[in-house]
Amino acid sequence: MPKESQTMIRLIISDLSEVLISGLYGIEVELQLILGIPQDEILPCFGGNLLATLFVGRITEDEYLSEIISENCWPITVEGLRETIRRNLLRSDNRAIALVTSLAEKMDVVILSDHAREWGDFVRQNHSFLKVFERQFYSYETGFTKIDPRAFTHVLRTLRVAAEESLFIDDRLPNIETAISVGLNTHHYTTIEALESYLVSRGILV
């Protein structure tokens, strides 16, 4: 990876799912009991082009779930699968939330998330900490997922901040690589401890 700019960071762009709250990861624990198949065979069924189409708002959640159930011949209803996802979306990492919300009180911090419209609405209704962030950018609203450089250039143009003055935090390496290609500073999220250490090294966290 290229050496990061030491320009002062003015903007933090934080991922939402798998950093602050749970997304799809974790539903396999509950679903294996219902479907009777190994956990590692479940999550791959939710990815690919169908998920990308959902994330940019071209299909509904029910259409997405119905296709997954039909393609895999799963013994579960759309309603059952929908509720399993909702339960998972309620899970959160309080330590990560406390860190990022404390940063939002001192500097500009925004959310950039790939989400279905229905999931985004549910998350915003059930996670009050999101009110701390003045701006939240969701793929179903912008039309771009984070694998697309336009997801980042849209945020930068909207907020009038240069790429080198911005830090992007995300758990997925493909998203990190896209952000780097646009010129952003990045941190690949693995643990809260590693994030804290990185923020200290950049002088963002004391």
Q: What is the pTM of this model?
A: 0.94
The pLDDT of residue 156 is 98
Closest CA to 145 of 76, 35, 48, 42: 48
C-alpha to C-alpha distance for 120 and 56, rounded to whole angstroms: 12
One digit per residue, the tens of pLDDT, for the chain of length 206 reads 444 556 799 999 999 999 999 999 999 999 999 999 999 999 999 999 999 999 999 999 999 999 999 999 999 999 999 999 999 999 999 999 999 999 999 999 999 999 999 999 999 999 999 999 989 999 999 999 999 999 999 999 999 999 999 999 999 999 999 999 999 999 999 999 999 999 999 999 98
In whole angstroms, give the CA distance from residue 73 to residue 86: 22
Return the amino acid letter for 159.
Answer: L
Residue 2 confidence (pLDDT): 46
β-sheet bridge partners, residue 113: 138
**Residue 4 has what pLDDT?**
52
Whether CATH 3.40.50.1000 fits 11-21+92-201: yes
Q: Any idea where the domains of the chain sit in the sequence?
A: 11-21+92-201, 27-89
Contacts of residue 119, Cβ cutoff 8 Å, sequence gap at least 6? 23, 61, 85, 89
